[in-house]
Chain A
């Protein structure tokens, strides 16, 4: 991809805000969403996920695949399929996925998390393929298409196995388990199988990673550098992250209760979620005209603490209000908030405080879909962006499972029922992470 600074126009956003579009108020033209794909513990595609929401079926259960001492002690939201099965779902032969049986025996072999290809890459490929199929862009191979993907620990699922071998019996470690260690290597592997060569990048900003991938993709399209982009992220469950969050003592030993007064932490999950974003020109060529657009976004930093959120949620307030401002919406225009809502004491109170300040006392419906999928870390922003797009497209609000008692300090009441056929026009999706990373996205109904 060539970037010629001299030829870049300045402030396209400001230009459209004051120009001919002003009479289309209140919404600024967004970047069209042409397709969506998702995989998590509640379904291997969009249709299955929606069914789980409707049936109220959460993905948390005992650990069955990850080889850890926390089996039967900590619930997680696993995608209940071993790597061979994931490879099949991704349309790969076992040998193409580097999953062919080998002489080398490791624990991961027994669990079905077999050699070479990171589970993160397999999850990523499945959801990205679904998104591209859903978009069905004619002649996509001739377009300037980008793959903007996010993850937080790359091929750590393989690396921790390599390390265990390395530390216990040096002769048993296998370099092939290191090949996809870098976050960017996972993106490359997937992009190669999607046939996307023009542009690719990887973003890693902890739990806001894939929301930032969607944001960055929208900006690349707005700047005219790309025609289409597959954007989102993936993360597989690993011992590294499970133990990391456990060492912080923020994992709930029961299914999590976001925004509940008795909440006791988060459950980890795994999965991937991608959107296909297209320029207006490409949108016009599609047989199914996009009816949802990314109308607003903002990336801010809490600048408070490496892991904890500020008590007043200053970063999240800035992200939400910045995203609203860009979409030229007022708080009252938002019909549904897909909360970051991890279920930790700190996040939910901080996010709730920022929401009260911005929206109170007239709150939109809100819920945390992490009560279904668990916290999928680098995938969560992408997965929840997909859910937000579906909420707009189909007029849905998802239930916040297991909510009973509002938080004492911020008595917000999330939606607890699955609602459909609502006139949902604007959805706000929050993703906040370690390092103070705060990103909010706004998806809006837009007729083309």
Chain B
């Protein structure tokens, strides 16, 4: 079977949302050092004011991108909604946790607890669309978006859905940033965040952005040879010859060593045109959703025929997608 990316929407630290998406300017780390915040649209023009008041930032970003993705494709109700998020709704979690400690477990407001569950974004999209169909949320760190895509692929191949809205969302909060910084994650790369949703379909349409050919995920590979073998076998299975490889290099030597080794001599990316993306969106576990959005857009523009996106998250989750022009 074939799977087509019918439409795509993305809110990121780049001006990617709206009629004229672009990502050409290197993002400037926002005032708060070391983090790239999303450029958010004026939600009042996009979402119901009453519903908006109750939504935290991550919910707004997720619901707005989902909404825009469906609008572009003219889809009123997708056959399923699948979301990936590594951290979930941090702002509400943080808020409830702080108040439970500060108020010593008494007289707590339930609202942040209610909205802290990891499936809140998917749920709010369903509520907005009154969509009673399949709804699932994957929370598997650096492979959360990939698992949402995998679920979408299965739903389409099973004939369970004709279209699937699949995407990923993650936010930075002051608290999460302060804690994650102490792990030394952002010494060379700013922290990032973003929301991206895609409408995937089993049948082609005139507006398709690209075709999704396959995904591979592998876990804690011992060395570069193992990574190379996995990627080579993935490309061979698809008889793929990508003319662009989008990679998750982020400027941190320990992180980037793997990517560099894959480009040397006869290695799998040798002689391939490479493009890094994390200087644009920052580092976060679902950043591959941004790379996926970029790849689909580049293919739609006709700049490339076939793109491989390869990322590893902290050396733990290695993931790759192959997309082709339609």
Contact = CB atoms under 8 A, between A and B. Distances in A.
A13 B214 contact: no
B132 A5 contact: no
Interface stretch (B39-47, B233-241, B259-267): B233-241
A239 B132 contact: no
B159 A11 contact: yes
Contacts of B135: 205, 299-301, 435-437
B101 A437 contact: no
A305 to B, nearest CB: 8
B119 interface: yes
A175 B132 contact: no
B158 A301 contact: no
B317 to A, nearest CB: 9
Contact of B151 (A5, A202, A204, A216): A216
Nearest to A192: B220
Contact of A243 (B88, B113, B136, B137): B113
A35 interface: no
A164 B104 CA distance: 10
Given A13-B159, A216-B136, A240-B100, A435 B217 contact: no
Interface string B176-197: 0001001100000000000000
Contact of B104 (A69, A197, A434): A69
Given A184-B139, A203-B137, A197 B216 contact: no
Of residues A167, A188, A239, A303, which shows the largest number of chain B Cβ atoms within 10 Å of its Cβ? A303
A212 B182 CA distance: 34
A399 interface: no
B118 interface: yes
| B interface majority secondary structure | mixed
A437 B83 CA distance: 13
Contacts of A175: 179, 182-183
B139 to A, nearest CB: 4
A85 to B, nearest CB: 26
A255 B132 CA distance: 33
Given A70-B105, A205-B119, A5 B153 contact: yes
25 contacts: A1-B218, A4-B238, A5-B3, A9-B157, A10-B1, A11-B157, A178-B179, A182-B86, A182-B139, A197-B220, A200-B140, A201-B143, A203-B137, A205-B119, A216-B136, A223-B157, A240-B96, A240-B97, A246-B108, A301-B133, A301-B134, A306-B115, A306-B124, A315-B132, A437-B135
Contacts of B87: 182
Nearest to A223: B154
A3 B153 contact: yes
B153 A202 contact: no
B323 to A, nearest CB: 11
Most chain B CB within a 10 A radius of its CB, from A12, A246, A306: A306
A207 to B, nearest CB: 9
Interface residues of A, number: 72
Nearest to B102: A167
Interface string B89-126: 00000001110111011101110011111111011101
A192 to B, nearest CB: 8
Interface in B1-36: 1-3
Contacts of B316: 188
Nearest to B81: A301
Contacts of A10: 1, 157-159, 202
A239 B86 CA distance: 22
A163 B214 contact: no
B157 A6 contact: no
B303 interface: no
Contacts, number: 217
Interface in B212-262: 212-220, 233-234, 237-238
A300 B132 contact: yes
B141 interface: yes
Nearest to B110: A247
B23 to A, nearest CB: 27
Contact of B144 (A184, A220, A303): A184
A153 B319 CA distance: 25
B150 interface: yes
A51 to B, nearest CB: 34
Contacts of A96: none
Contacts of B182: 175
A91 interface: no
A306 B138 contact: no
Nearest to A318: B132
Contact of B1 (A5, A306, A437): A5
A154 B238 CA distance: 36
Given A175-B183, A184-B144, A437-B119, A8 B157 contact: yes
Contacts of A436: 123, 126-127, 135
Contacts of B97: 159-160, 163, 240
A188 B141 contact: yes
A8 B1 contact: yes
Contacts of A120: none
A11 B154 CA distance: 9
Contact of A248 (B113, B131, B179): B113
A368 to B, nearest CB: 22
A315 B150 CA distance: 24
B213 A248 contact: no
